[in-house]
Amino acid sequence: MIRFSVARVEKEPVELVGDEPAEWLEIEPSDLLRVTSPVHYDLLAKAVSGGVLVEGKVRTGVAGLCGRCLEPVAETIENPGVCLFYEQPQEDELDITEDVRGEMLLELPMNLLCSEECRGLCPHCGKNLNRGSCSCTDDDEADDRWSALDNLKL
């Protein structure tokens, strides 16, 4: 849990540094994506006019399969721009756990990629195009069901 005393923040900035277990993100592990390391946060809470501002960064490690070529991928995901504002908190202690969790979830990719230049798999033969060309021809890619639309005049 990530929480701090509001009274203490009003006197001086409070540094919030720690780790939460990978399960904290509540992501069901699968072949496509799994969290591989604890979620590390490094935040600073300070009093500002009208409330409390929390800034910092959150990061974790993830692994899975590339969304294009299905090769294994491991990388670190980081949100370096966490910025949360709380208007005049009425509580003595402010729990920001769910908000920080949400900031980390926003950074998770829809699909992991082994590289931005990944060419993926051939849709016909399934060969990994990063390792070389396949023997499929352009004729193999034509879909005859749509060929009647080529004759349409608009």
> Are 114 and 154 part of one and the same domain?
no
At 138 the pLDDT is: 61
Whole-angstrom distance, CA of residue 47 vs CA of residue 55: 11
Give the DSSP letter of residue 24.
G
pLDDT at residue 120 in the model: 93
Query: Which candidate, 62, 103, 113, places its Cα nearest to that of 83?
Result: 103
77-95 mean pLDDT? 91
Helix, strand, coil percentages (3-state) for the chain, rounded to 5, are: 20, 40, 40
Q: Identify whether residues 91 and 32 lie together within a single domain.
A: yes
Q: Which domain holds residue 148?
A: 119-154
8 Å CB contact between 52 and 16: no
Same domain? For 80 and 18 the reply is yes
